[in-house]
């Protein structure tokens, strides 16, 4: 079999590969969050207030309201040690698991992951 490609075919192949690379880049950029230190009270708790406290109120089980959420989650579901591998934390796996994944947007998931990678600060 002759697998030698003509110059023109190489050109089309190159264009096609460039197209694939470009598509991937666009998808990635849509979910990127600013590279700054996150604040638990300003960036993370509002996600819980908006997406979690309806099912996790003070009255039963896990309480994600602002007075208690940090102590409820750290260290039971996420610890400083998880900063080395945020995706391995109980909290990350829970919010990305099938029962919880639809509750948060990609950006919200990324924020929580980043907060974990920053050492779960209570700031």
Residue 41 engages ligand HEC in binding (rule: CB under 6 A): no
Residue 94 engages ligand HEC in binding (rule: CB under 6 A): yes
Chain length of the chain: 123
Q: Which of 80, 94, 87, 93 is nearest to 113 (CA)?
A: 87
Per-state percent for the chain, helix, strand, coil, to nearest 5: 60, 0, 40
Residue 52 CA to residue 19 CA, distance in Å, equals 39
Per CB under 6 A, which region of 7-15, 16-24, 25-33, 99-107 contacts ligand HEC? 99-107
The nearer residue to ligand HEC, 38 or 52, going by C-beta atoms, is 52
Residue 77 CA to residue 113 CA, distance in Å, equals 13
Residue 44 engages ligand HEC in binding (rule: CB under 6 A): no
Residue in 39, 65, 100, 110 binding ligand HEC, rule: CB under 6 A: 100
Residues near ligand HEC (CB under 6 A) = 48, 51-52, 54-56, 61-62, 77, 91, 94-95, 99-100, 103-104
């Amino acid at each position: 079999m002759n697998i030698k490609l003509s110059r023109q075919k190489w050109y089309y192949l190159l264009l096609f590969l460039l197209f694939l690379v470009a598509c991937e880049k666009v998808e990635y950029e849509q979910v990127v969050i600013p590279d700054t230190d996150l604040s638990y009270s300003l960036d993370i708790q509002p996600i819980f207030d908006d997406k979690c406290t309806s099912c996790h109120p003070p009255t039963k089980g896990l309480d994600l309201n602002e007075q208690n959420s940090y102590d409820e989650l750290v260290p039971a579901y996420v610890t400083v040690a998880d900063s080395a591998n945020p995706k391995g934390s109980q909290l990350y796996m829970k919010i990305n698991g099938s029962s919880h994944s639809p509750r948060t947007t990609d950006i919200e998931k990324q924020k929580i992951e980043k907060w974990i990678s920053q050492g779960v600060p209570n700031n």
